[in-house]
């Protein structure tokens, strides 16, 4: 099935799909595709709330944007940091396309948000993006806030392909003996086998995912290594996870399977499927009421760690 059943769609999702303008996803057309996601930011995401500061930083040699919440929103003993990896199939997106989401996360949680400008594929394939997010995370763990250390309260998050990077970096941090406080995976890409349910008619299509995987991890690269297939990693002792999936998303099942695998490995997991919505709805705060509910859910989970 590649069609669309309007009875399954929330009215906001239906309107978003009807208004969506998609440029053909090919290497020759990649510049136009990247421009199209940038041009849709105002309509899909919106501006986000005002914060104490939003600054460009050098995060251990990786460019990033640091969002600092208002003073009244911060914990009294120093501000923890959420390292954020944007989505976009590893090939597009930037801190600018996720600015509104990062602002909302900082305001709602009281955490600083470090949005990483990682290198994109196919110009920089695997492991470039994962290495960049890892370096920025190490920087966050070593950085002080107003003279107070974060006390290890650094978490990692991402949406779509950015959630894949977040999962990989959470495991790398554990293996390096510098464990993170939490991992937040929004509509995550996780399984290079690409065994998708028949939901191609609701936005993200399996042909697009094939393009993304081929750009980030081109043949003959072994996609069974844990840095590409997190299901093949040892999942024990990973940080608590929040996994958010969308009912009408071809990535839904692999996100929920990963949540179940984490739980089976003894990792505390909160997994939520939002009904009637499509891939990466959480970023589209100007369209989906459910996006604000998901931000509130993530913020509540982070506040428990503050």
Please give the helix or strand (H or E) that residue 289 lies within, else none.
helix 289-303
Give the C-alpha separation, 203 to 248, whole Å: 9
Give the C-alpha separation, 79 to 7, whole Å: 44
Active-site option among 160, 200, 229, 280: 160
Q: How many CB atoms lie within 10 A of CB 218?
A: 13
Nearest of 45, 53, 47 to residue 86 by alpha carbon? 45
Nearest of 5, 53, 10 to residue 275 by alpha carbon? 10
Active-site option among 164, 200, 279, 280: 279
28 is catalytic: no
Give the C-alpha separation, 91 to 202, whole Å: 21
Give the C-alpha separation, 256 to 94, whole Å: 26
Q: Cβ neighbours of residue 149 under 8 Å, at least 6 residues apart?
A: 78
160 is catalytic: yes
Q: Which residues are catalytic?
A: 160, 249, 279
């Amino acid at each position: 099935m590649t069609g669309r059943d309007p009875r399954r769609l929330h009215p906001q999702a239906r309107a978003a799909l009807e208004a969506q303008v998609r440029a053909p996803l090919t290497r020759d057309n990649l510049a136009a595709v990247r421009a199209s996601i940038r041009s849709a930011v105002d309509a899909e995401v919106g501006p986000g709330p005002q914060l104490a500061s939003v600054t460009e930083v050098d995060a251990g040699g990786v460019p990033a944007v640091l969002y600092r919440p208002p003073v009244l929103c911060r914990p009294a003993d120093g501000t923890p940091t959420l390292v954020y990896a944007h989505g976009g199939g590893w090939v597009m997106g930037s801190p600018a396309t996720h600015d509104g989401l990062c602002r909302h996360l900082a305001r709602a949680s009281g955490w600083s948000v470090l949005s990483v400008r990682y290198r994109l594929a196919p110009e920089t394939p695997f492991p470039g993006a994962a290495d960049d997010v890892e370096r920025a995370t190490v920087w966050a763990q070593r950085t002080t806030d107003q003279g107070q250390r974060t006390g290890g309260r650094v978490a990692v998050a991402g949406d779509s392909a950015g959630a894949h990077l977040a999962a990989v970096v959470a495991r790398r941090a554990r293996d390096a003996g510098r464990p993170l406080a939490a991992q937040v995976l929004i509509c995550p890409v996780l399984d290079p086998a690409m065994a998708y349910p028949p939901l191609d008619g609701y936005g993200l299509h399996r042909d697009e995912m094939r393009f993304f995987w081929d750009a980030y991890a081109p043949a003959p690269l072994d996609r069974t290594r844990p840095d590409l297939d997190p299901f093949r990693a040892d999942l024990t002792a990973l940080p608590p996870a929040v996994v958010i999936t969308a009912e009408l998303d071809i990535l839904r099942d692999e996100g929920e399977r990963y949540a179940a695998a984490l739980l089976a490995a003894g990792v505390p997991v909160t997994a939520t499927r939002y009904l009637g919505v499509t891939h990466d709805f959480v970023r589209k705060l100007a369209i989906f009421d459910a996006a604000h509910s998901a931000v509130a859910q993530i913020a509540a989970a982070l506040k428990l760690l503050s």
